[in-house]
A and B are shown apart, each in its own frame.
Chain A
Amino acid sequence: QVQLVQSGTEVRKPGASVKVSCKASGNTFTNNYMHWVRQAPGQGLEWMGVINPSGGRTSYAQKFQGRVTMTRNTSTTTVYMELNSLRFEDTAVYYCAFSAAGTAFEIWGQGTLVTVSS
Chain B
Amino acid sequence: QSVLTQPPSVSAAPGQRVTISCSGSSSNIGIYFVSWYQQLPGTAPKLLIYENNKRPSGIPDRFSGSKSGTSATLGITGLQTGDEADYFCATWDTSLTTWVFGGGTQLTVL
Contact = CB atoms under 8 A, between A and B. Distances in A.
B50 A103 contact: yes
A10 interface: no
Interface residues of B, number: 22
A76 interface: no
Nearest to B51: A103
Nearest to A6: B44
A62 B98 contact: yes
Given A45-B101, A47-B101, A111 B44 contact: yes
B44 A104 contact: no
A110 B100 CA distance: 21
Interface of B: 2, 33, 35, 37, 44-47, 50-51, 56, 88, 90, 96-104
- Closest 7 A-B residue pairs measured CB to CB? A104-B50, A104-B35, A47-B99, A108-B44, A45-B101, A103-B33, A61-B98
